[in-house]
Amino acid sequence: MGRRSRKRPAPPPEERREPAPAAPRTAPLSTRRRARLDEAPKPPWAPFPLVELCILGGLVLLVVGFAKGGNGGGLFAICGLALVGIASLELAIREHFAGYRSHTSLLALAAGAGTMLILGIGIGIDRVVAIAVGAVAFVVVWLALRAAFRRRTGGIAFRA
């Protein structure tokens, strides 16, 4: 018989050691600094790539708009830019509130710019006032989004 099969006497009680602590477990999915692709939130239309098709369509409209030029080309370019922007914002909102990746600055910038556009162009308030209110909106929304992401991820403020 080999050495492994022999029984060894138990050590005296004063020499007994406590068992070694268990190996550290990997951090829960929501508390890791690096987000994995398989953790990405699925949209309600999951198998259909709607966001990707919207971004592709917007890019095509942008290219057509720049190639055509003139007033008609400008309209195509603006519609393409709007389509890409809306699709990208939807993806950023979904990822941010699922705790997958932090898009705090992008979403706060969109809120601030939207506030400035509504006040400056829609209502006709003076530019300086619209910019000041937009900056305040940016800061308030940024703080709220940061707190929401921290609650979702268990305390992590940023995830790449």
Tokens 């941010």 — which residue? 96
Task: Give yes or no: residues 105 and 81 share one domain.
Answer: no
pLDDT at position 136, please?
96
Q: Range of 85's domain?
A: 48-98
Domain membership of residue 76 (yes or no) is: yes
18 belongs to a structural domain:
no
Note the pLDDT of residue 109: 95
Residue 146 CA to chain centroid, in angstroms?
Answer: 11
Question: What is the value of pTM for the model shown?
Answer: 0.68
Residue 143 placed within a domain:
yes
- How far is Cα 55 from Cα 86, in angstroms, rounded to an integer? 9
- What does the pLDDT read at residue 8? 67
Residue 83, in any domain of the structure = yes
Same domain, 108 and 135: yes
Q: How many structural domains compose the chain?
A: 2
Residues 6+ apart with CB under 8 A from 32: 26, 159
Instruction: Indicate whether 59 belongs to any domain.
Output: yes
134 within some domain: yes
> What is the per-residue pLDDT for 18?
63
pLDDT on residue 83: 95
Q: What is the DSSP string of 29-98?
A: GGG-SS--GGGSPPPTTTTS-HHHHHHHHHHHHHHHHHHH-HHHHHHHHHHHHHHHHHHHHHHHHHHHHH
d(CA 59, CA 89): 15
66 CB contacts (<8 Å, ≥6 apart)? Answer: 73, 77
Per-residue pLDDT at 153: 82
Mean pLDDT of each 10-residue bin along the chain, 160 residues long = 64 62 52 66 84 94 92 90 94 88 92 94 91 96 92 76
> pLDDT value at position 38?
65
